[in-house]
Amino acid sequence: MNFLKITLIVASMLLVFGAVFVLSGEYKKAKLRNLNHFYPHEYTYLYSVEKGLDPVDKIRLEKYRVYYHKLIQYKPDLAEAHMMLGYCDFYLNDLDGAGLSFKKAVDLKIPLPAAYYNLGLVSYMKGDYVFAVKVLKAALEANLSQMSSFLIGSKVYLDIITSSSNIVEENQQRLVDQYRAIYRLLILCFYQLKDNEQMLLYFKQAVLQFNDPAAFEPLSTNKLLGARLF
């Protein structure tokens, strides 16, 4: 038996073994064991960064990013994993990566206004005001009535939101803050695009919604915008 025949026999055996390994479910189990190795033991830090209570620690954030990246490899259509990967990318100064992740979350119909706002904010920071307007308008038009049940049913978010002792009250306030931020950023986009008609239209809508005209005046909005995600 020459070397070529031996090589072909070994290759065939490896292919058969690989097929049996995948079909038997062992491959999936192996991927899950690998994922669990990177599972974060606590989420308090992520929650604190989001609220601006802790400074950005790139080493700690990189560990979270690795985990969410591997989670996406395991479950590619898990919208909240893409959302959290974008969050990590954003604070690690990877705007392109953050934009792609937030867009994927939105494309997967994640029922969270924060996803639209975050994608809009990244687009605004990159100077793509037209796309930011498209995303922010979509947030105002989207049916996000499933947000509460989605958060409760999500293992990814449940670990994070249970880091707070006043989660019900905080989520209600966060929802108001997110829609306020969406209007604010939308008005600012029209200000940058010099579209006074649309800027005035959404300014009036925002004032009717929140009864706080000063918060939506474009120049003061520009100062308040910052670079904070939801």
pLDDT, residue 165, reads: 57
Q: How far apart are CA 102 and CA 150, in angstroms?
A: 17
Task: Please give the DSSP secondary-structure letter assigned to residue 41.
Answer: S
pTM: 0.76
Among the residue ranges 15-24, 82-91, 124-133, 214-223, the one predicted with the least confidence is: 15-24
pLDDT, residue 37, reads: 46
Contact between 197 and 137 under an 8 Å Cβ cutoff? The reply is: no
Question: What pLDDT band is residue 29 in, cutting at 50, 70 and 90?
Answer: very low
Six token digits for residue 211: 């009864």
pLDDT, residue 12, reads: 45
Among residues 190, 189, 181, the alpha carbon closest in space to that of 229 is found at: 181
Q: How far apart are CA 178 and CA 112, in angstroms?
A: 9
Question: What pLDDT band is residue 202 in, cutting at 50, 70 and 90?
Answer: very high
Mean pLDDT (whole number) for 9-34: 42
Among the residue ranges 5-14, 135-144, 215-224, the one predicted with the least confidence is: 5-14
Judged against a pLDDT cut of 80, whether residue 182 lies above it is answered with: yes
Tens-place pLDDT, residues 142-179: 877 777 677 677 776 666 655 555 555 666 777 888 89
What percent helix, strand, coil does the chain show, rounded to 5?
75, 0, 25
Among residues 111, 119, 167, the alpha carbon closest in space to that of 142 is found at: 111
Contact partners, residue 50, CB within 8 Å, separation at least 6:
87, 229, 230
Contact partners, residue 66, CB within 8 Å, separation at least 6:
38
Query: Torsion angle, CA of 41/47/49/54, rounded to 10 degrees?
Result: -80
Mean pLDDT (whole number) for 112-130: 94
Q: Dihedral sign, CA of 220, 223, 227, 230?
A: negative
Residue with tokens 């939105």: 106
Q: What's the chain's average pLDDT? A: 77
Look up the CATH number of domain 30-225: 1.25.40.10
Domain ranges of the chain: 30-225
Cα dist. 152→37, 148, 155 in Å?
24, 6, 8
Tens-place pLDDT, residues 40-84: 656 677 767 777 777 888 888 898 899 899 889 989 999 999 999
Helix (H, G, I), strand (E, B) or coil at 218: helix
High-pLDDT (> 90) share of the chain, %: 37
Single-letter amino acid code for the residue at 180: R
Q: Which residue has the higher pLDDT, 180 or 213?
A: 180
